Structures are given as C-alpha cells and as structure tokens.
A and B are shown apart, each in its own frame.
Chain A
Amino acid sequence: MGGAIQPMAAEVTEPLDGDATDDDLVSLATQGNRAAFEAVLRRHYDLMHRVAWRMTGSQTDAQDICQDVCCVLVERIASFRGEAKFTTWLVGIVRNACHDHRRRHSTLTRLKGHLAVLAEMAAPPDGRDLFRRSWLASELARLSPLLRETVVLVVGEGMTHAEAATALGVSESTISGRMHEVRRQAGLAKDIGDEF
C-alpha cells in the first residue's frame, strides 16, 4: 500500500506525435479553426475527466463537468495567452467548474446522502460502481475540498507548487502550506491505522 502515483502531466503536455503543440492548437482554435479546437478538446478530455473525477468521485458528475468545460472553452479559449502551460490553465477552469457543480448540486447531494443511509439499512451495498467505492475508501475523500483540489493537482497531475498556485489562483506558499497539512493528516491517518 501507499505506492506512489506516477505524475500524469508529462504525457499530457507533450506534443501529439510530433504534431502541433498545445499552444499552436490553441492559437489556431482562437482564430476559429474548428479542427484545432476539436483536437484540443479530445487531447485533454482525459485530463479534465481525471481531475474532475478525483475532485468529485462521481463519474456522472465528472462527465457533466467535462461537458460544461468543453462548452465554456468555446468562449474562454481566446483568453489563454500562453504565459502558463495550457494544461495548468485548463485545470484551473476544470476546478472552477467542479466548484460550480458542487454548489449547483448541493441539494441533490444531501438527498442522495439520505438515501445512502437507507441503502445501508438493507442489504450490504453490492457496489456496482467499483471506482466510486475506491474513491470513497481513499484518503482523498476525507480531505477538505481545498486540500483535495491541491492534492489532485500536485500529486495526481504532478504539478509543481508554482503551477498549482497559478491554476488555483493562490500563492505558492499557500500550496506548500496545504501540502504540509495534507502530509500531516495523512501521517495521522497512517499512525491510527498502524495501531490496529
């Protein structure tokens, strides 16, 4: 247990089989090139989905969020100026969409929570969504939303603290502070676990 997750960022940002780089595609897309825009979406859909899923732990939510982001990008992509990595910028948008989604669904989520109680009163859950269960069982689910999004970016996407800071719109030291807190909580959990 406790194996390290390979950083994902490397494979996401490298150019497509010697094809155009993200920046080239984005500037083409900004000029109204449909194929370039589609290529950007397809290239980064997995990244968006992965980040959104790790933030929410729900495939349906992740799909909704990704679709929102794809649509928002139609307008938004023109505002990318290439001073950060495109993926960094994109992850910021995904994260905001996640926030939004959470707000939008808070009522529904509460209801679902109640229903989950009902489910537990009966037969033990059969666990059809094994991915969701793995998410719920992970330490990630127990972190607060702020810490969670930081971990998803730094650990999951292999971002540097500076990149994560840009994506989340906070200072680099804030990120470092949060990671410290995560490390403290994870260590705490491990200590408790060791006692059993």
Chain B
Amino acid sequence: MSSDHDIIRLPDPPPPAPDARAAAVQQALLRFDQKSAENGQGLPTDIRLIERTAAPLRPSRERFVMKRTRYLLAASLACLVVGSGAYLHLMRSPQLHNTFARVEEKVASNDVAQAPSTLQAKKESDSPAQPQPQIQTATPAAKPDQEAAAPSVAAAPPPAKPDVETQIVGRFAPQASSTTAPGKVQGMIPGTPPVDVRGRYADRTDHRPAPAPLASAKRMAEEVPRSAHQRERAPDASEPVGRDKFANAPENAFKVARDAPVSTFSIDVDTASYAFVRAQLNRNVLPPAASVRTEELINYFPYAYEAPASANEPFRANVAVFPNPWAEGRKLIRVGVKGYALQQTSRPRANLVFLIDTSGSMQPQNRLPLVKQSLAMLLTQLQPEDRIAIVTYAGNAGTALEPTSMSEKAKILATIDRLEAGGSTAGAEGIRQAYALAEQNFDASGVNRVIVATDGDFNVGITNQDELKGFVERQREKGIFLSVLGVGAGNYNDALAQTLAQNGNGVAAYIDTINEARKVLVEEASSTLFPIGKDVKIQIEFNPATVAEYRLIGYETRLLNRDDFANDKVDAGDVGSGQTVTALYDIVPVGGPRVVDDLRYGARAPASASPSPAEYAFVKIRYKLPRSDQSVLISTPVDRGSEHARFEDAPLDARFATSVAAFGEILRGGKHTGQFGYDDVLRIASAARGDDPYGYRAEFLQLVRAAKTASAMQPLMRR
C-alpha cells in the first residue's frame, strides 16, 4: 500500500479559515442545542418533514434498532444524499420560500421597531476618528467586550416550543432563527447569525478561532473543548509547506547596461501578494517563494513623497541613489512616483452606486458583515453633496436604497445595516439596475462609479461573458466606472474581478480584515475612488558610463517591451489620487563588483566618450489623463545630486522600501541578497519606521519576526 503514496502528487490544501471553522461549529452547536431541547418531544420536526417528501428515508428512531453497521453505514450515507437532496428541493420549493419570506417580514418589522434606537446609537458613534465601532455600537447585545458578548449570545435560549414553520426556517436558513429568540439576539444586526458577532471580534483581534465557545461551554464539566482548541492548529503546522507550484516569473536578472540600457515596466498598485504573505506568516508558515511579488510588498506601504504641484502634471518622480545595504559596492536607485492628491474641496462630487452581493455565500462574517462595516467606514470619507445608492443582487434582489444625498447619512447607515445574506442565487438585473441608477444621477463634472462588493460569484444578471464585458466597457465610455471590492477567500480570486475592474477603469481591492477595509476605503478612499492617471508606464534608460549593470527588483509580471512605452494602445496600470508607486533598481556602478562578465568578443567600452557621466539614468513616465486617449510624457534625470553617500543618510522612505524589498527577496530565496538576513531587515526597517500613523510599518516588523521564526521551524516541518 505504501507505493500508493508515490503515485501522484497532491496539492497542499490551504489552511481552513478560522472564522469559517468557528461559523461551522457554531451552526452545528446551535442545531445541537435545538435538538437537545426537542428530544423530550419526539422526533425533530425537520426529520419528519424530510420523511414526507423523501420516501426512502428511514425515520431516525429505526436507526437505533439497526444492528449491522454495514447496513447502517450504507443507510446513513443514502440518508445523507437523499436528505441533502430533499433539503435542496425544499430550499427551492416556492412553498418554503413563502414561509421564508413571511419570517423575513417578521424580521423586517422587528427592525423597524428597532430603527430609532439604532439610528441614535449610530449618530453618537459617527465620528470619523473611530469609524470601526459604527455597526457594532448599533447592536445593544453585542458589547465590545468579547467575554461579555459571547455568553449572552451563546445563552440565547432555543425556543421551548417551536412551531413547525420557524423550525424549518431555523434549520434551513439559520439566520432567521433569531426570530425565535426575542430581544437579545434580535438586537443584533438583523439577519446575522449570532456566530457572526463573535467571529467578528475574533477577527478583529488576531484571527485565532473565536475563544467564545470556551466561555459558552463552561457549564460543561469537561475540559475537552479547551484541549481541542489548543490543538486544533496543530494539523496546520504539520502540513507540508512551500511545495505548491505557482506560475510566477523568477527574479529579474542583472542586465548589462551597455547591451540593454533601457528598462520598461507598467506600474502596479496591486497589493494582493502582501495580504497573502501576511496570511501565511500569521500561521507561522513561510509563504511559497513564488507567491511573493516584491513590488506588491513595497507598494503596500504609503510613502511620503514630494507631491506634484498641480493636477495639470499629476505625477512627480522622486529619485534617490544610495548604497545597497546587502551588497558591498552596489547601489540602489529608488524611483518613487507620487500621484496628485485631489483636495477635499476641489474633489469632484461623487455619485456612487453600491452593487452588493447578498447571496448565501456572503454569509460568513468575513464577507457581508465585513462589507457592511467597510461601507459604513467609507461613508465617513464622503461629503454631504455626494450621493449614494445601494442595489443588491441574489436572494432579495432590487434597489435597497434609492440615490440618497450623503446629508441623510442616518438613512444610508440604516439601509446598510439591514442588508443580509441568504436565499438562492437567482441573479437579478443587478448590474443593469446599478448602472441605471448611476446614469439617472449622472454628474458630468463628478465621479460616477459603480462599486461591486462580492465574494466572486458574478451572477449579476448578464450571464453572457462578452455581453458583461462589453456592457462594462460601454458604460465606461459613458463615464461610469466600475470598482470591485472582493471579500472572502477562494472564489474571489477569479481574475474576472480584475478584468472587470480594469475594463471599468477601477480598482479591484481585496478586503480580508477590517483593518484592510480601513486602509482601502478610508485612508486611501480618494485614490480608490478618483483616478488621476491611467496606463502609467515607466521607462528608465541607464547611462553605461556610470552604470555597469542593473536589475529591477520585482515587477517581473509587469515588464513591457521597449517599444510598448510609446505605444498608446498598450494597456498599463492606473493610479488613483494621491497614490504612490515605488520601484527599486539594484545597480552595479562602473568599476563596482560586476556580476556579469564582459564578452570576450564584444565591443570594448569607449571609456570616456559617453555623455555627462554625472547622470546615472534617465526616468521617463508616460501616462494618460483619465478622460484622454493621448499619453503625456514627463521625465527626470537621476544624477549625482540625488545621491547619498551613506545608506543611513538616504531618505527614510527609501530605507524602509529597501528593507521591504530585501524581505521580499529573502522570502523568494535570497538569490541576490547574499548574507543579508531577517535581522538586517529588522534593523533597517525599525530605524526607518518614521511616523507610521496607521501602524502598517509596525505590522511589517511583526511579519519579519514571524518569518524569522517560521524559517527556523521550516526544516522541522519538512520532515
């Protein structure tokens, strides 16, 4: 049998998401409690119901009589198959939908009763300084203290005498079960299962599975759950890691400046790789080398580059040359591009339509609840004259909020609060409806944008893919842009979200935690919403008289051909208001330690004939204004004036970017970083932490420490 294991190489599974695990366990325990409560009353209702529709199913009591396990096993498997089929059938049958709808109405009417106090709470918590508790303070039962919150939720009593209707719904649509626990649970965000509240707190702390179940189990004498909790991460840790295959280009190699003096690439403001690396390291596992895209790590951090003076020339390149800390004799050239930051006052009016996926898959607390929190946070960044509309698709499709001025913030917040996931995925005319609303309020001088929040199932009404893509493109030409906010893990990763956002001149942002939501929607709100340049390309020409060899760090997947630079047909990245993009070149100056040998038969360098040896390189940036098809060129030389003799004298941001680049390169195998280790990264990064108001750089330091630990553990786990 042992030879079986060599047959085929299985892909390593991803770690189960702690919140999904917590949600699953909580759902099951909820039912367990219901079942225990019903045991005195004979068979559980739902079983009886299934019996009626699925004849071959045996009543559960008979199972206890059966002796032969084989039969039992076969029967139980059959039960499962038939039972789940019946379950599905029931879910889809109109009769049940009616029931569901009725219960939903009940929920809704409860909401209305609750609305005033909800709004009150919101207004009080409405200061931009603390956007996070907005939704949470609106939930009387959910106290910010997780220890306090958990028992009250867990203790929500199951109905003593459930009537058939609510029972069914409670089983099939767990969120509706809150109707049966009046008061306490009802006070939470309607439609969110109790689990979610807990899970959210867990999410906000450190992604460990919610500790709440321990508290809720305290009435049990046994210590079992505690040990289970301690141990449950163990299987993760012993998974084989780092053996996945990824299609990612290897690190750029050194090029000889005399042979190929020009380097061209598209800017990349994507940061997904950083989120992936962070997720891996938080599990104390090194990310697979190929999953690390160094430029995305570097660009995750905001840098305080000198801003362009006006919107007429929206970009400014900040160059610096300084010694390379990981290789004696080499230098680094930092090219930092800063986009013009639109002022709040001069900012165009925003006409936003949120198209929110409320299908069943959005139910986990890192999806719809996170989207709701994110939207509430985004509201704090908008001006009173901006307008917002909300359209939902799947389940309860339709316009949730007609275009509403931001001055009616309370109304908007209440609508967001009422959104709930659930129901089938009957794709409605969601996207058309969203665009129709955007068009209805079209503001020729403002920003018109549809923002899709989804976990990736793009069943938005237009099912033909060409039609969908063409539709988004046509709308873009009309001036309505599209952005995608991705949540959840797994199916978001459809390149579709990226493609659509690209076709719609928008960003595809991925939100995994509330902190990420704050970064994307609050601190970077204007860059997310207001593009200032598109198809931004960078071309650098090195001066062979001063630079012998160069290597672009990162951007492997974004390289362009030399002639693509001036070709306006070639698509490239977009830059939003105030965004920064950083590229680092590792260079070997003439006379430095060469990496690539000279050719024996190559032309000898004309030693002194080169022009202006004071310049290292010449940077050219080509961009288009958002409404233009003609590209504009700006350029800046990299001369000795921007050179710093000692690394310690280099600008703070340049030093920090260097440490991030080194970290990325080390994670990828450290082919070019020599003996430079995590400790060196820590040293440089902690010296260059600077102001760091949002703690991103502090988080980076933690990641480096985590990587250090993980790399020390790596040999053990490989065994």
Q: Are A130 and B246 in contact (CB under 8 A)?
A: yes
Asked whether A146 is an interface residue with its Cβ less than 8 Å from the other chain, the reply is no
Count of A-B contacts judged by CB separation below 8 Å: 315
Q: Are B5 and A63 in contact (CB under 8 A)?
A: no
A contact patch SS: helix
Q: Are B231 and A43 in contact (CB under 8 A)?
A: yes
Shortest distance between the CB of B638 and any CB in chain A (Å)? 30
Given A49-B16, A116-B494, A122-B502, residue A37 in contact with residue B32 (CB < 8 A):
yes
Asked whether B28 is an interface residue with its Cβ less than 8 Å from the other chain, the reply is yes
Asked whether B88 is an interface residue with its Cβ less than 8 Å from the other chain, the reply is yes
Q: Are B80 and A70 in contact (CB under 8 A)?
A: no
Of B371-379, B458-466, B529-537, B601-609, which stretch is located at the interface? B458-466
Shortest distance between the CB of A155 and any CB in chain B (Å)? 6
Q: Are A134 and B246 in contact (CB under 8 A)?
A: yes
Q: Are A169 and B74 in contact (CB under 8 A)?
A: yes
Asked whether A192 is an interface residue with its Cβ less than 8 Å from the other chain, the reply is no
**Interface 1/0s, chain B 23-56, versus A by CB < 8 A?**
1110111011101100100001001000000000
Residue in A7, A72, A119, A138 whose beta carbon sits within 8 Å of that of B495 in the complex: A119
| A80 to B247 alpha-carbon distance, docked (Å) | 44
Asked whether B90 is an interface residue with its Cβ less than 8 Å from the other chain, the reply is no
Residue in B1, B75, B246 whose beta carbon sits within 8 Å of that of A161 in the complex: B1
| CB nearest to A16 among chain B residues | B227
Note all chain B residues with C-beta closer than 8 A to A108. Answer: 425, 457, 459
Q: Are A186 and B231 in contact (CB under 8 A)?
A: no
Shortest distance between the CB of B560 and any CB in chain A (Å)? 13
Please report which residues of chain B, range 180-231, place their CB below 8 angstroms from some CB of chain A when the two chains form the complex: 213, 217, 220, 222-225, 227-229, 231
Given A35-B220, A130-B246, residue A4 in contact with residue B69 (CB < 8 A):
no
Total A residues in contact with B, Cβ cutoff 8 Å: 109
B contact patch SS: helix
Q: Are B24 and A2 in contact (CB under 8 A)?
A: no
Q: Are B238 and A11 in contact (CB under 8 A)?
A: yes
Note all chain B residues with C-beta closer than 8 A to A54. Answer: 10-11, 13
**Interface 1/0s, chain B 232-257, versus A by CB < 8 A?**
10111010100111111000000000
- Say which size band chain B's interface belongs to: 35 or more
Residue in A64, A81, A118 whose beta carbon sits within 8 Å of that of B69 in the complex: A81
Q: Are B235 and A127 in contact (CB under 8 A)?
A: no
Q: Are A3 and B73 in contact (CB under 8 A)?
A: no
Q: Are A166 and B24 in contact (CB under 8 A)?
A: no
| A115 to B499 alpha-carbon distance, docked (Å) | 10
Asked whether A19 is an interface residue with its Cβ less than 8 Å from the other chain, the reply is yes
Q: Are A154 and B493 in contact (CB under 8 A)?
A: no
Asked whether B420 is an interface residue with its Cβ less than 8 Å from the other chain, the reply is no
Q: 5 more A-B contacts (CB under 8 A) besides A38-B228, A39-B225, A130-B276?
A: A4-B5, A35-B224, A63-B16, A115-B468, A161-B1
Residues on B facing A (Cβ under 8 Å): 1, 4-14, 16-17, 20-21, 23-25, 27-29, 31-33, 35-36, 39, 44, 47, 60, 63-64, 69-70, 72-77, 79-81, 83-85, 88, 213, 217, 220, 222-225, 227-229, 231-232, 234-236, 238, 240, 243-248, 270, 272, 276, 288, 291, 361, 364, 425, 455-459, 463-466, 468-469, 486, 488-496, 498-499, 502-503, 510, 557, 571
